[in-house]
Amino acid sequence: MNELADRFFAAVGDGDETTLTALYAPDARIWHNDDGREQTVTENLRVLHWLSRTLEDLRYEDIRRHELPNGFAQQHVLRATLPGHGPLEVPACLFVRVDDGRITRIDEYVDSAATSPLRAQAGRRRER
């Protein structure tokens, strides 16, 4: 399970959509507490692609991972530089369900105050 988790977070940081697509089950769903919505794999890949292109020096630190019977839970702090804003620190916790070696569901809890600069940047992007 640790190998899958390591591959997943490395692929997110690298913007590696090929690896992410292989790690996700086709019908996987990704839920976020800050908007209460579920994303499809396609929608999530679009967001992760934007993050990897927007953030500089994206990395996961202060990682605490716990294997679960059907996946894993991970707490971490996403750190990066957001151009035009500066350093970004987003505490997060993910509960990841894995079936047959592929991610079928992620429930992600983030500090919504910490993600407000990202939401503002995304809003400016949509306005163009």
Per-residue pLDDT tens digits for 8-39: 999 999 999 999 999 999 999 999 998 899 99
For the chain, what is the domain count?
Answer: 1
pTM value is: 0.90
Spell out the residues 6+ positions from residue 50 whose beta carbon is closer than 8 angstroms to its own.
122, 125
Q: Say if strands 102-110 and 24-32 run parallel, antiparallel, or are unpaired.
A: parallel
Query: The CATH number of the domain where 71 resides is what?
Result: 3.10.450.50
Residue numbers of the domain that contains 11: 1-127
Cβ within 8 Å of residue 110, ≥6 positions away? 32, 33, 34, 90, 91, 92
**Tens digits of residue pLDDT in 34-53:** 889 999 999 999 999 999 88
Beta bridge partners of 64: 75
